[in-house]
Amino acid sequence: MANSSLKKRNNTLANANRQLEILSNGIFSNGELPTFKSKISETNQYPLKAKTLEILQINLGYMCNQVCEHCHVDAGPDRKEIMTKETMLQCLEVIKTTKAHTLDLTGGAPEMNPNFRWFVEEASKAGIKDFIVRSNLTIIRANKTYYDLPHFFKTHNIHVISSMPHWTKGKTDKQRGDGVFDKSIKALQSLNDVGYGMPGSDLKLDLVYNPSGAFLPANQSAMEKDFKKALIEDFGIQFHNLFAITNLPISRFLDYLIASENYEDYMYALVEAYNPNAVANVMCTNTISVSWDGYLFDCDFNQMLSLPVNSPIKHISNYNESLINNREIVISQHCYGCTAGAGSSCQGTVA
Amino acid sequence: MQKTYYDPSDLKKFGKISEWNEELGAKFFEYYNSVFAEGKLSEREKSLIALVVAHTEQCPYCIDAYTKDGLQRGITKEEMMEALHVGAAIKSGATLVHGVQMMNKVNKLEM
């Protein structure tokens, strides 16, 4: 398992243009598989248009204490791209006026941003209905300065969404690194201890399941039952919902697919599982993704592929919600990842 | 003409069997999908049964398909192997239980 990012390793796939070339060439240029554009055109869903903004997702930086095999951000300890306080101030202006009901902080490990707590404190004053922090769990146990994060989250009524690829140690550590499973279990227990994830609790704790390999996630509710049964029986851990998220063929997961000779089969599987009903509710239609340096994207994946929004407004500093709604979504073949089967989004299935 | 009997990419073409007999092909796939739907048994249990039968039938397409299906359902490799031994036990048991017939025949023929 690599312990540094593609960028640090000077891997060609750290380059967004190279990734976009791969996603447009081969089986998609020789007609073996339809491009995403031609596929959604079959059901008159092209161009894909944004609807009213509901979710403001802010990436606080690509630095992370983990180097997960499948990471679409190519995050890791060596990534230095961190949102500055100046950009956070610009975000706060938007958070105060947005009509979005959900504020979603992600990374990297967002908690590693030195101004993370200040930003959460300020943002929570805006009173957004659902305030999410995507936590990788192990950060809570990384060192003692983070041990009180469960209390901090509770104080600000943060909705915690955490990655947990499997309920067994073997599968989890293979994807996320040695020791990740044990630390994640401890972190989940500490969240349960302050009330997170308990039945009927307002302190929301949801888990995210990503397949640990070149296959698609199965039925979300069936997986949720299996996760709940195993975590309560083995560790006494409770949580609310499980979100099954498909791995998109970009960044480190694309690197893995190519190196393991699974790329073509995986793209076939995504295209075969294409579901036009998922297109109607795909997350880019109600989300804006803000990068660590304040630029706007249709989703976190487009952010990593350097595909900016198709709108006159490109940066949080001149944000204008009315000009962003109804924009045309920028697409490529990676979008098949969000429309396969029951669909996939940061909030799980969509169809 | 391909030089080997099995080609992994043929699995993707399974649906094409309907092209030469649409009515029976459609009936088969409808039946197939109904069989694997959740009933008294869960989809997960059915997937494990399918994986075992895939091996006892020694169908490489089915082994590919139901190994992947199992991974998608979060079935671990340890669970898969444990299930496989059920198939192996029945296969070897089926061989050995015929030994009773052999013994009967020997007992009948020998003085």
Q: Residues 6 or more apart from A192 whose CB is under 8 A from it? A: A198, A205, A236, A237, A238
Counted residue by residue, chain A has a size of: 351
- Domain-embedded: residue A348: no
Q: Is residue A40 part of a domain?
A: yes
The 8-class DSSP code of residue A56 comes to E
**Nearest CA of chain B to the CA of A214: how many Å?**
9
Please tell me the pTM assigned to this model.
Answer: 0.89
Task: For residue A215, give the nearest of B12, B68, B76 by CB distance.
Answer: B68
Dist CA A254 CA A250 (whole Å): 5
Q: What is the pLDDT of residues A181-216, one digit of tens each?
A: 999 999 999 999 999 999 999 999 999 998 989 999
DSSP labels, A131-148: EEEEE-SHHHHHSGGGTT
pLDDT in tens, chain A (351 residues): 678 999 999 999 999 999 999 999 999 999 999 999 999 999 999 999 999 999 999 999 999 999 999 999 999 999 999 999 999 999 999 999 999 999 999 999 999 999 999 999 999 998 888 999 999 999 999 999 999 999 999 999 999 999 987 888 887 888 788 888 999 999 999 999 999 999 999 999 999 998 989 999 988 998 999 999 999 999 999 999 999 999 999 999 999 999 999 999 999 999 999 999 999 999 999 999 999 999 999 999 999 999 999 999 999 999 999 889 889 999 999 999 999 998 998 888 888
CB pairs under 8 A between A and B: 33
Listed residue (A1, A95, A110, A12) closest to A56, CA to CA: A95
State the Cα–Cα distance between residues A107 and A177, nearest whole angstrom: 18
Choose from B46, B47, B71, B76 for mutation: most chain A CBs within 10 A: B71
**pLDDT score, position A153:** 97
Task: Establish if A55 belongs to a structural domain.
Answer: yes
Based on the structure, what is the number of domains in chain A? 1
Q: Are the beta carbons of A171 and B44 separated by less than 8 Å?
A: no
Q: What's the CATH number where A146 sits?
A: 3.20.20.70
Inside any domain, residue A4:
no
Domain positions in chain B: 8-109
Q: What ipTM, to 2 d.p.?
A: 0.75
pLDDT of residue A127: 84
Distance (Å, rounded) from C-alpha A335 to C-alpha A270? 9
Sign of the four-CA dihedral A292, A293, A296, A298 = negative
- Alpha carbons within 13 angstroms on the beta-carbon side of residue A239 total 32
Asked if B76's CB is within 8 angstroms of A171's CB, the reply is: yes
In a domain, A80, yes or no: yes
Which stretches in chain B have pLDDT values below 50? none
Which of B43, B44, B72 has the CB atom closest to A216's CB atom? B72
For the domain spanning B8-109, the CATH number is 1.20.1290.10
In a domain, A34, yes or no: yes
Find all residues with CB under 8 Å of A264, minimum gap 6, and list them.
A26, A27
Pairwise CA distance, residues A264 & A250, whole Å: 13
* Angle, CA A331 vertex, CA A74 and CA A66 arms, to 5°: 15
User: pLDDT by residue (tens digit) across A114-155?
Assistant: 999 999 999 999 888 899 999 999 999 999 999 999 999 999
List, as one string, the DSSP characters of B48-76.
HHHHHHHHHTT-HHHHHHHHHHHHHTT--
Candidates A166, A181, A215, partner chain B, best to mutate (most B CBs within 10 A): A215
